């Protein structure tokens, strides 16, 4: 960046530039970089004078493969509605890094963020050295969270583990009030291990001697490891059941999806135990089977979490005609979460279509419109027909040969079939943080990974189940006269060179098919979900 460009940066963008410098380009599975050493965190804590403040915090610590973010969100909402000043640290962010730091349910404001950011940054810059270099990106964010929560004097700090548990930056906490382990499954295997037992061992690394812990029903192999770790540390470990919907007094959880009742049950146990152990109530709500306090119900039914089972209409198309382009966003990126995502999507679109059936059956408003993407169920008697589109990307460390078949199969089970799949690279650059982070105009995007995803998808349609993705002989156009159309155009899918070009294609398709509701499932990557939200909210 030239000096002239530097001068045009806003103060907040300058902070984002500094934060971005902590991001490593290396693979997360490469453990050779000593900058990732867990033990360095204790040096940083001393530099920032956070030893005593962290010890004094009344912390709830949550790990897991699926549902830990939702569990933390429910937990924060419950305790905030109980009247406590809350601090919530989660990851990743979708649009703005400030989403990771929530005070009383709100993202930290820019003014406070920058004050705390530069205080930590300047102090670390001044006192780090070769033996103790500047912290890595996530280490810095976790340290920043502790600083924010300490100065803001939150009464309860809810910490979501970033990755794993044992060596996660949040695990510098030595005496939390209570710990939780959400559903476990196969994810981050390049770091955490290849078996559920190994993964569970890493997650159980947040257990502390004598500190009560809760989990949800787990696969046998994972549960055995959790129980053994708990036994070794004298941890009272309990398994909690999903929340009974009848306890919500006719209301619905703030987070959509049947699986959220599992996360809600875990959050109730965490909140109940936190209240009990901190001396705020004498009643243990953990075993309540007939009623819940109104504060718990309020917290559970008003909880909000972006990018998980999130329905959002495209603002641009919405201004032209209502309901024609709707995005269903869910950051699922493991095989098990694909099942959950698919079930939620299928139920959500059927509910939306059912609402539309009250409209009088009528002729298509534009009989001459292109029928390329029109998908009409014979039993659909509504004013507007619908078609389902998949917008997908995942990181190259994932296993798309497991993700995509699970998604397609689960949707097929519910009678939902995608008319088209769109594969795109993320806008967000992994080495740059900021609300406007995007490639330069001359940035050349390598689409080889997206073409691999496309081959797996096309093979599913050809009955190959994605297993011969590398050798599949597909009848796709590898290039197109119009660069906006895509690098690979197949019957059932298209690879686009950028997310904006895919969004533009969707908008053009809507305009050509004005009687069709386009229901777009965005999944596979929370980075992609954030990128889409940034574009469609404009």
pLDDT tens digits, residue range 255-290?
Answer: 988 889 999 999 999 999 999 999 987 556 666 567
The whole-number pLDDT of residue 444 equals 61
Give the whole-angstrom CA distance, residue 271 versus residue 210. Answer: 18
Tens of pLDDT, residue by residue over 397-434, are 788 999 999 999 999 999 999 999 999 998 765 557 76
The whole-number pLDDT of residue 234 equals 97
Return the SS3 of 237.
Answer: strand
The whole-number pLDDT of residue 359 equals 45
Give the whole-angstrom CA distance, residue 515 versus residue 517. Answer: 7
Q: H or E stretch including 350?
A: helix 335-356
Mean pLDDT of 324-349: 91
The whole-number pLDDT of residue 486 equals 52
The whole-number pLDDT of residue 60 equals 98
Tens of pLDDT, residue by residue over 456-473, are 999 988 774 444 444 444
Tens of pLDDT, residue by residue over 62-93, are 999 989 999 999 999 999 999 999 999 999 89
Which tops the pLDDT comparison, 54 or 2? 54
Strand arrangement of the beta sheet that strand 213-215 belongs to: 106-107, 101-103, 86-89, 156-160, 59-63, 178-181, 213-215, 237-239
Residue with tokens 């053994």: 228
Mean pLDDT of 225-251: 96
Give the whole-angstrom CA distance, residue 267 versus residue 158. Answer: 11
171 pLDDT above the threshold of 90: yes
Residue with tokens 């006719």: 250
Give the whole-angstrom CA distance, residue 13 versus residue 11. Answer: 5
Give the whole-angstrom CA distance, residue 295 versus residue 291. Answer: 12
With pLDDT > 90 as the criterion, what percentage of the chain qualifies? 65
The whole-number pLDDT of residue 126 equals 96
Mean pLDDT of 444-460: 90
CA 355 to each of CA 30, 302, 375: distance values in angstroms, whole numbers, following the listed order: 50, 23, 18
Residue 491 binned pLDDT confidence (cut-offs 50, 70, 90):
confident
164 pLDDT above the threshold of 50: yes
Beta strand 493-495 with 488-489: parallel, antiparallel or unpaired?
A: antiparallel
Residue 384 binned pLDDT confidence (cut-offs 50, 70, 90):
low
Residue 118 binned pLDDT confidence (cut-offs 50, 70, 90):
very high
Token digits for 222? Answer: 């994972």
Which tops the pLDDT comparison, 345 or 384? 345
Give the whole-angstrom CA distance, residue 477 versus residue 496. Answer: 12
Give the whole-angstrom CA distance, residue 56 versus residue 59. Answer: 9
Other C-beta atoms closer than 10 Å to the C-beta of 103 total 18
The whole-number pLDDT of residue 285 equals 63
Give the whole-angstrom CA distance, residue 370 versus residue 376. Answer: 14
Give the whole-angstrom CA distance, residue 500 versus residue 488. Answer: 16
Mean pLDDT lowest among 110-119, 137-146, 255-264, 432-441: 432-441
The whole-number pLDDT of residue 381 equals 40
Is 160 annotated for ligand binding?
A: yes
> Residue 323 in contact with residue 385, Cβ under 8 Å?
no
The whole-number pLDDT of residue 443 equals 52
Residue 188 binned pLDDT confidence (cut-offs 50, 70, 90):
low
The whole-number pLDDT of residue 383 equals 52
Is 330 annotated for ligand binding?
A: yes
With pLDDT > 70 as the criterion, what percentage of the chain qualifies? 80
> Residue 182 in contact with residue 216, Cβ under 8 Å?
yes
Token digits for 420? Answer: 């088209």
Is 91 annotated for ligand binding?
A: yes
Residue 53 binned pLDDT confidence (cut-offs 50, 70, 90):
very high
Is 127 annotated for ligand binding?
A: no
Q: What is the rounded (10 degree) CA torsion for 361, 367, 369, 371?
A: 70
Is 308 annotated for ligand binding?
A: yes
136 pLDDT above the threshold of 90: yes
Token digits for 488? Answer: 């690979």
The whole-number pLDDT of residue 301 equals 97
Residue 201 binned pLDDT confidence (cut-offs 50, 70, 90):
very high
Residue 186 binned pLDDT confidence (cut-offs 50, 70, 90):
confident
Give the whole-angstrom CA distance, residue 143 versus residue 206. Answer: 17
| pTM, entire model | 0.84
Residue 356 binned pLDDT confidence (cut-offs 50, 70, 90):
low
Q: What is the length of the chain? A: 538
Cis peptide before 171 (omega within 30 of 0): no
**What's the CA angle centered on 329, arms 454 and 467, to 5 degrees?**
25
Mean pLDDT of the chain: 85
The whole-number pLDDT of residue 288 equals 59
Q: List, as one string, the DSSP characters of 133-184.
A: -PPPHHHHHHHHHHHHHHHTT-SEEEEE-SSSSTT-GGGG-S--SEEEE-B-
Mean pLDDT of 208-228: 97
Which tops the pLDDT comparison, 483 or 150? 150
The whole-number pLDDT of residue 270 equals 97
Tens of pLDDT, residue by residue over 25-46, are 554 444 444 436 899 999 999 9
């Amino acid at each position: 960046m030239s000096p002239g460009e530097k001068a045009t940066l806003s103060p907040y963008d300058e902070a984002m530039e500094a934060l971005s410098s902590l991001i490593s380009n290396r693979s997360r599975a490469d453990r050779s970089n000593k900058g990732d050493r867990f033990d360095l965190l204790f040096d940083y804590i001393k530099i920032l004078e956070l030893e005593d403040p962290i010890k004094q915090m009344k912390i709830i610590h949550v790990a897991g493969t699926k549902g830990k973010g939702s569990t933390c969100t429910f937990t924060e909402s419950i305790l905030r509605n109980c009247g406590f000043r809350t601090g919530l640290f989660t990851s990743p962010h979708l649009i703005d890094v400030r989403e990771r730091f929530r005070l009383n349910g709100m993202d930290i404001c820019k003014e406070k963020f920058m004050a705390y950011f530069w205080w930590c940054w300047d102090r670390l810059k001044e006192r780090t050295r070769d033996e103790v270099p500047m912290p890595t990106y996530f280490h810095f964010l976790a340290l920043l969270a502790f600083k924010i929560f300490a100065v803001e004097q939150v009464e309860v700090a809810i910490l979501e583990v970033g990755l794993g548990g044992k060596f996660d930056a949040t695990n510098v906490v030595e005496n939390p009030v209570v710990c939780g382990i959400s559903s476990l499954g196969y994810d981050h295997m390049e770091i955490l291990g290849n078996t559920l037992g190994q993964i569970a061992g890493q997650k159980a690394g947040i257990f502390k001697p004598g500190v009560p812990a809760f989990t949800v029903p787990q696969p046998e192999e994972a549960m055995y490891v959790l129980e053994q770790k708990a036994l070794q540390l004298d941890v009272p470990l309990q398994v909690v059941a999903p929340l009974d919907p009848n306890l919500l007094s006719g209301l619905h959880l703030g987070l959509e999806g049947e699986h959220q009742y599992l996360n809600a049950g875990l959050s109730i146990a965490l909140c109940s135990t936190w209240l009990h152990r901190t001396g705020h109530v004498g009643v243990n709500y953990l075993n309540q089977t007939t009623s819940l306090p109104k504060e718990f119900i309020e917290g559970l039914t008003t909880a909000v979490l972006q990018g998980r089972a999130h329905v959002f209409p495209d603002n641009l198309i919405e201004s032209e005609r209502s309901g024609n382009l709707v995005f269903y966003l869910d950051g699922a990126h493991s095989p098990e979460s694909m099942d959950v995502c698919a079930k939620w999507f299928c139920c959500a679109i059927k509910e939306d279509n059912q609402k539309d059936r009250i409209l009088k059956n009528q002729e298509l408003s534009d009989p001459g419109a292109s029928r390329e993407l029109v998908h009409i169920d014979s039993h659909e008697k509504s004013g507007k027909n619908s078609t389902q589109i998949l917008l997908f990307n995942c990181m190259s460390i994932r296993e798309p040969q497991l993700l995509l078949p699970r998604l397609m199969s689960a949707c097929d089970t519910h009678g939902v079939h995608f008319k088209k799949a769109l594969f795109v690279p993320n806008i967000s650059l992994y080495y740059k943080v900021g609300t406007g982070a995007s490639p330069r105009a001359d940035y050349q995007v390598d689409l080889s990974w997206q073409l691999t995803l496309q081959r797996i998808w096309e093979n599913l349609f050809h009955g190959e189940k994605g297993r011969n993705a590398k050798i599949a002989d597909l009848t796709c156009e590898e290039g197109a006269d119009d660069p906006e159309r895509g690098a690979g155009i197949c019957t059932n899918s298209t690879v686009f060179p950028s997310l904006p070009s895919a969004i533009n294609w969707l908008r053009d398709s809507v305009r050509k098919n004005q009687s069709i509701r386009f229901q777009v499932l965005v999944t596979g990557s929370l980075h992609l979900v954030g990128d889409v939200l940034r574009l469609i909210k404009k």
